[in-house]
Amino acid sequence: MMARVRTAARLHLLTVKQIQNVRDGDHSDGGGLLLRIRGVSASWVFRFTSASGRRREMGLGVARRGSAVAGDSLTSVRKQAQAARELLQQGVDPIDAREQRRAAAREVEQAKKASKEWERWTLARCARDYHERVIEPTRSAKHAAQWISSLENHLPARIWNKPVGEIQPPDLLEALQDIQPHQRARNFHGDCLHETVQRIRQRLDAVFEDAIFHNRCRSNAAAAIRRKIREALPRKQAGKLAALPYAEAPAFMTLLRGQEGLGARCLEFAILTAARTSEVLLAEWGEFDLKTATWTVPGAKMKAGEDHLVYLPPRAVEILRELQDHRLDAVRVFPSPMKPGQSLSNMTMLAVLDRMGMRQQTTVHGLCRATFSTWANETAAARPDVIEACLAHNEADKVRAAYNRARFTQERRQLLADWSEYLSAPAGTVLPFARAA
Fold type of domain 123-232: DNA polymerase; domain 1 (1.10.150)
**CB-based contact 356:311 (threshold 8 Å):** no
Tell me what percent of the residues of the chain surpass a pLDDT of 90: 43
121: helix, strand or coil: coil
User: Which residues of the chain does CATH 3.30.160.390 include?
Assistant: 2-98
Give the pLDDT of residue 192. 56
pLDDT for 14-49, tens place per residue? 999 988 888 999 999 999 999 999 988 999 999 999
Question: Rounded distance, CA 90 to CA 102, Å?
Answer: 20
Give the pLDDT of residue 52. 84
* 246-423 maps to CATH 1.10.443: yes
Query: Does residue 7 have a pLDDT over 60?
Result: no
The mean pLDDT value for 184-207 works out to: 70
Question: Rounded distance, CA 114 to CA 119, Å?
Answer: 9
**Cβ-proximal residues to 383 (8 Å cutoff; 6+ apart), any chain:** 408, 411, 437
**24-38, 137-151, 326-340, 385-399: which is most confident:** 24-38
Fold type of domain 2-98: Double Stranded RNA Binding Domain (3.30.160)
User: Which residues of the chain does CATH 1.10.443 include?
Assistant: 246-423
- Per-residue pLDDT band at 242 (split at 50, 70, 90): confident
**CB-based contact 309:287 (threshold 8 Å):** no
> Which residues are registered as beta bridge partners of 55?
49
pLDDT for 70-82, tens place per residue? 889 899 999 999 9
- Per-residue pLDDT band at 68 (split at 50, 70, 90): confident
Query: Does residue 402 have a pLDDT over 50?
Result: no
Query: Does residue 436 have a pLDDT over 70?
Result: no
**CB-based contact 394:401 (threshold 8 Å):** yes
The mean pLDDT value for 315-334 works out to: 89
Q: 9-13, 323-327, 384-388 — which is least confidently predicted?
A: 9-13
The structure's pTM equals 0.47
The mean pLDDT value for 168-180 works out to: 87
Give the pLDDT of residue 117. 66
User: Which residues of the chain does CATH 1.10.150.130 include?
Assistant: 123-232
Give the pLDDT of residue 234. 59
Measured in whole angstroms, how far is the alpha carbon of residue 274 from the centre of its chain?
33
57: helix, strand or coil: strand
**CB-based contact 307:293 (threshold 8 Å):** no
Query: Does residue 240 have a pLDDT over 60?
Result: no
Rounded mean pLDDT of the chain? 83
- Per-residue pLDDT band at 338 (split at 50, 70, 90): confident
The mean pLDDT value for 108-131 works out to: 83
Query: Does residue 6 have a pLDDT over 50?
Result: no
355, 356, 359, 360 alpha-carbon torsion, rounded to 10°: 130
Query: Does residue 185 have a pLDDT over 50?
Result: no
Question: Rounded distance, CA 254 to CA 425, Å?
Answer: 9
122: helix, strand or coil: strand
Residue burial 410-419, b: 16+ Cβ < 10 Å; e: rest: ebbbbbbbbb
Give the pLDDT of residue 431. 45
CA-wise closest residue to 33 among 46, 49, 18, 14: 46
346, 176, 204, 169 alpha-carbon torsion, rounded to 10°: -150
Give the pLDDT of residue 394. 64
Phi, then psi, of 37 in degrees rounded to 5: -110, 125
Q: Three-state SS string across 154-211, please?
A: HCCHHHHCCEHHHCCHHHHHHHHHCCCCCHHHHHHCCCHHHHHHHHHHHHHHHHHHHH
pLDDT for 410-435, tens place per residue? 899 999 999 999 998 765 454 444 44
- Per-residue pLDDT band at 395 (split at 50, 70, 90): low
Measured in whole angstroms, how far is the alpha carbon of residue 254 from the centre of its chain?
43
Question: Rounded distance, CA 95 to CA 333, Å?
Answer: 77
- Per-residue pLDDT band at 172 (split at 50, 70, 90): very high
